[in-house]
Amino acid sequence: MAEFKHKDIIALRDLNKEEIELLLSTAESMREINSRDIKKVPTLRGKTIINLFYEASTRTRTSFEIAGKRLSADTVNITPSSSSATKGETLADTALNLLAMKPDIIVMRHAVSGSHYFLSSKMPGCSIINAGDGTHEHPSQGLLDMLTMKDRFGRLDGLKVAIVGDITHSRVARSNIQGLTKMGSQVFLAGPPTMMPPGAERLGNVTVCASMKEAIQDADVVMMLRIQQERQGKTLMPNAREYSRYFGLNPENLKLAKPDAMVMHPGPINRGVEMSSYVVDGGQSHILKQVENGVAVRMAMLYHVCGGELE
């Protein structure tokens, strides 16, 4: 079996195909644990994991916490309102103080792109896992998305994946583009030009489409992104009503995709904006399956940065 040599998992851009395959296949093994009555193995017993979330999160933080606990690690959650960040402590000082308590893994979400590299430079000997950094990457989301696609199609190679929405501000899109390109999928991007960053077509095996219809035509996967009012500012679109008309997924335009196409969304969903409820709750939706796979993928990530071996 391939070896995983990274101390940290900060971006899928930093991983090669073999490493991504390894993480996905480990996640598949972890899934078996999650289906047991007693969902706990001793693999990371004695390891300390700190979940350091500077941005709000329900799904990701809970998922990482459950993943750590199922591997028997001790997990501690820190959120800004309960931390020294509100007293003005710098990230560097937070890192040094946490390091003094000798954690094994820090799982961080932070609003500033690249802040995990900074954290890592301050925390030698401790693994850093990125649970989302600004508008850069969200590697666990990218991995769980790929695992969900692989479950459905048995492969990633040759899949046509449409990603629709605010590409500029999406860390989910960046991680998916990096991962899917390495795994041999084709990515088609669509969104209003105000939400398409310069050079997006050079990010990987990417085609920037002129319309949503063009992107989802004959797609195997339609991934809709959340409209993130908090990151966007106010000048990128007229309003949610117009957005949903031209860039929302509904039962009508979903027919353009392949008949067995799967629909995905990283959540939380703005129902009626980027996706109609009929699609969210419809038969082609794999949104909850994504959440389920999230736990297994995060178990695999925690496991590999600790350099452990499967029993």
Partner 1 sequence: MNLLIKGGRVIDPSQKLDDTLDVLVDNGVIKEIGTGLKAPAGAETIDATGKYVVPGLIDMHVHLRDPGLEYKEDIVSGTRAAAAGGFTSVVCMPNTKPVIDNKAIAGYIITKARNEGAANVFPVGSITYGLDGERMSEMGELKEAGCVAVSDDGKPVKNAELMRRALEYARGMGILVITHAEELSLVGAGVMNEGFTSTEIGLKGIPRIAEDIATARDVMLAEYTCSPIHVAHVSTAGSVRVIREAKARGVRVTCETAPHYFTLTDDAVRGYDTNAKMNPPLREAADVAAIKAGLADGTIDAIATDHAPHHRDEKDVEFDAAMNGIIGLETSLPLSLRLVSDGVLTIDQLIEKMSCNPSNILGLQRGTLVAGSIADITVIDPQAAWTVDPDRLVSKSKNSPFLGWNVTGAASATILAGNVVYTRA
Query: Residues interacting with partner 1, by CB under 8 A?
Result: 13, 90-92, 110-115, 117-118, 133-137, 168, 171, 174, 197-200, 202-203, 233
Report the nearest approach of partner 1 to the CB of residue 115 (Å).
4
**Is the Cβ of residue 164 or residue 172 nearer to partner 1 in the bound state?**
172
Report the nearest approach of partner 1 to the CB of residue 302 (Å).
24
Query: How many other CB atoms are found less than 10 A from the CB of residue 145?
Result: 28
Report the nearest approach of partner 1 to the CB of residue 92 (Å).
6
CA 184 to chain centre: 18
Report the nearest approach of partner 1 to the CB of residue 113 (Å).
4
**Is the Cβ of residue 5 or residue 202 nearer to partner 1 in the bound state?**
202
**Is the Cβ of residue 138 or residue 304 nearer to partner 1 in the bound state?**
138
Report the nearest approach of partner 1 to the CB of residue 296 (Å).
26
**Is the Cβ of residue 163 or residue 200 nearer to partner 1 in the bound state?**
200
**The 74-78 sheet, strands edge to edge:** 74-78, 48-53, 105-110, 127-133
Q: What is the CA radius of gyration of the chain?
A: 19
Report the nearest approach of partner 1 to the CB of residue 63 (Å).
22
Q: Which sign does the torsion angle of CA 257, 146, 163, 204 carry? A: negative
b/e sequence 99-114, b meaning 16+ C-beta within 10 Å: beeebbbbbbbbeeee
**Is the Cβ of residue 200 or residue 212 nearer to partner 1 in the bound state?**
200
The closest of 152, 254, 153, 273 to 213, measured between CA atoms, is 254
Question: Is residue 269 within 8 Å of residue 248, measured between CB atoms?
Answer: no
Report the nearest approach of partner 1 to the CB of residue 176 (Å).
13
The closest of 172, 291, 179, 293 to 228, measured between CA atoms, is 172
188 has which bridge partners?
162, 207
**Is the Cβ of residue 76 or residue 196 nearer to partner 1 in the bound state?**
196
β 186-190/105-110 pair status: unpaired
**Is the Cβ of residue 24 or residue 237 nearer to partner 1 in the bound state?**
237
